[in-house]
Structure formats: structure tokens, C-alpha cells
Structure 1
């Protein structure tokens, strides 16, 4: 993982130097640019993962009905679930591969930004140094809000009570841990969520058409 985090840190340094050449040297801006580039490059995988996850969540009521009906017949249960996947044209493993590819990259970005050693000023807007937590707690609040919106976009109305509970728990958890994270890392999370929200909106619009 050190290999990926080192690459992330090198990319941030290069992008920072690029912002410096145009007279706007800023590590926060470099992190934003890097996040946008990463989300654009990973969009095909993200799209596949979201579509698969959304399809599986929409199938939950039917799956539960089958599980309840054939709970005492495991062989028939597996057969009926396989038929359901076939009827709905859903591959239950389709969302795993994109996630497996993205996870090491996301983890590398996490450690790369968290452990980044800033050379020179690391101020960004109201934050004196993005190597420290946001003193005004604006970014942690935004991290919670954007996480909620992003999760809400992909959750079908037929979701279970457990999924709906997670819809509120995860944003609160993300916001809570963001209070102690470096502001640069939380900035990355907020921008990533905003990109995800925008990409999801485009996907929803394309589906409606």
C-alpha cells in the first residue's frame, strides 16, 4: 500500500507545482484536481458497481419472499434465487470486481493524503493548514451531508429497514471521524462525494431517457 500512497503523494506534488506555475500555489486545489481526475478515470467502474448494487437492492423484497418460502429447502432456495437473478438479468457478483479494483486505489489515496508532508504553506480558504483538522468543522459537516445525499441517490424506495437505518448512520459516522482527520483528507472525501452525486445524477437522467 506504501507504493500506491507514494504515487498519490507524487501526483499531489506535481499538481501543486502546476498550480504554482499559474500563480495559484495551493495544496487544497491540487487535491481537488486530483480527486476530479481519479473520479473521471474510475467512472466506468463506478457506473458498473452502482448499477449492480442498485439492482440487488431493488430485488431484496423478492429475495426475502423466496428465502421465507423455501427456508427449509436449501436446494430449492438456491435454485429459485438463481432463477430470480436470471429473470431480472442481474449478476450478484457483477458489483464485486469494480469494487475490488477501486478499493486499493481509494485506500492508497486515503493514506497518501493523510500522511502527506506539506512543503511550505498549506492553507486553503478558511483553513490555516489542511494538514490539521478543520477548526471550523465546515468540512466534516459537508462530508456527512454529501455522504447522505450520495447514499440516498442509490437507495431504492423498496430498501429494507436495515438499509434505511444505515442511510442515516453512515453519514453521521463519516462526519464524526472527519473531525479528527486532516482537513486535506476530508476535502478529498467531500469532492469525491460531489463528483459521485454528479455522476449518479447523469446516470439517473440517462436511465429516464
Structure 2
């Protein structure tokens, strides 16, 4: 993982020096630019993962009914579930590969930004230093809010209590841990969420055509 985090730090440094040549010597801007580039590059994988996850969640009521009906016949249960996937055109493993590919990259970005050694000014917008937690709590609040919106977009209302718990728990958890993370890392998370929200809106628009 050190290899990936080192690459992330090098990319941030390269972007920082590039935008500095245009008079924008700011690490916050460099992190925003890097996040946008990463999300654009990973868009095909993100799209595949979101589509698969959403399709599986929409099948949950039907899957639950089958599991209840054939709970005493495991062989018939597996057969009926396979038939359900086939009839609905859903591959339960389709979302795994994109996630497997993206996870090391996301983890590398996490450690790369968290442990980044800044040179020069680290101020950004209202913050004196993105190397320290945001003292105004604005970024942690934004991290929780954007996580909620992004989750709401991809989580269909199936009436499942567990889904509702996760819908509200995860944003609160993300907001809570963001209180202690360097602001640069939380900035990355917020921008990533905003990009994801935009990409999801685009996907929904295309699906509605």
C-alpha cells in the first residue's frame, strides 16, 4: 500500500507544481483536481458497480420471499435464486470486480493524503491548514451530508429496516471520524462524493430516456 500512497503523493505534488505555474500555488486545489481526475478515470468501474448494487437491492424483496419459501430445501433455494437472477438479467457477482479494482486505489489515496508532507502554505478557503482537522466543522458536516445524498441516490426504498439504518448511520459515522482527520483528506472525500452524486444523476438521466 505504500507504493500506491507514494504514487498519490507524487501526483498531488505534480499537480501542485503545475497549477503553481499558473499562479495557483494551493494544495487544496491540487487535491480537488486530483480527485476529479481519479473519479473521471474510474467512472466506468463506478457505473458498473452502482448499477449492479442497485439491481441487487431492488431484488431483495423477491429474494427474501424465495428464501422464506424454500428455507428447508437448500438445493431448490439456490436454483430459484439462480432463475431469479437470470430472469431479471442480474449477475450477483458483477459488482465485485469493479470494487476489487477500486478499493486498493481508494485506500492508497486515503493514506497518501493523510500522510502527505506539505511544503509551504497549506491554507485553503476558510482553513489555515488542510494538514489539520477543520476547526469550523464545515468539512465534516459536508462529508456527512454528501455521503447521505450519495447513499440516498443509490439505495432504493425497499422497506428494509437495515437499509434505512445504514442510510442514516453511515453519514453520521463518516461525519464523526472526519472531525479528527486532516482537512485535506476530508476535502477529498467531499469532492469525491459530489462527483459521485453528479455521475449518479447523469446515470439516472440516461436510464430515464
TM-score (norm 2): 0.99
Could you tell me whether the CA contact under 8 Å between 1:5 and 1:111 is conserved in 2? yes
Verify: 1:188 aligned to 2:188, yes or no: yes
Distance of 2:159 and 2:140 partners within structure 1: 27
Distance of 2:73 and 2:96 partners within structure 1: 28
Secondary structure, in 3 states, of the residue corresponding to 1:149?
helix
Secondary structure, in 3 states, of the residue corresponding to 1:64?
helix
* Deviations 1:14-73, CA, capped at 9 Å, x for gaps: 011011100010000000000000000000000000000000000000000000000000
Could you tell me whether the CA contact under 8 Å between 1:140 and 1:179 is conserved in 2? yes
- Name the structure 1 match of 2:115: 115
Q: Give the root-mean-square deviation of aligned CA atoms.
A: 0.5
Distance change in 2, residues 1:40/1:139 (3 Å): same
After TM superposition, the runs of 4+ consecutive aligned structure 1 residues lying more than 4 A away are: none
* Deviations 1:152-171, CA, capped at 9 Å, x for gaps: 00011215110111000000
- More displaced 10-residue stretch of structure 1: 182-191 or 156-165: 156-165
Distance change in 2, residues 1:159/1:43 (3 Å): farther
Secondary structure, in 3 states, of the residue corresponding to 2:150?
helix
- Name the structure 2 match of 1:71: 71
- Name the structure 2 match of 1:48: 48
Distance of 1:159 and 1:36 partners within structure 2: 34
- Name the structure 2 match of 1:170: 170
Distance of 1:205 and 1:66 partners within structure 2: 32
Could you tell me whether the CA contact under 8 Å between 1:60 and 1:159 is conserved in 2? no
Runs of at least 5 residues in structure 1 that lack an aligned partner in the other structure: none
- Name the structure 1 match of 2:145: 145
Secondary structure, in 3 states, of the residue corresponding to 1:129?
coil
TM-score (norm 1): 0.99
Aligned length: 209
How do 1:3-42 and structure 2 match up within 5 A? Answer: 3-42=3-42
* Deviations 1:69-97, CA, capped at 9 Å, x for gaps: 00000000000000000000000000000
Secondary structure, in 3 states, of the residue corresponding to 1:93?
coil
Distance change in 2, residues 1:40/1:159 (3 Å): farther
Distance of 1:36 and 1:87 partners within structure 2: 37
- Name the structure 1 match of 2:127: 127
Could you tell me whether the CA contact under 8 Å between 1:5 and 1:109 is conserved in 2? yes
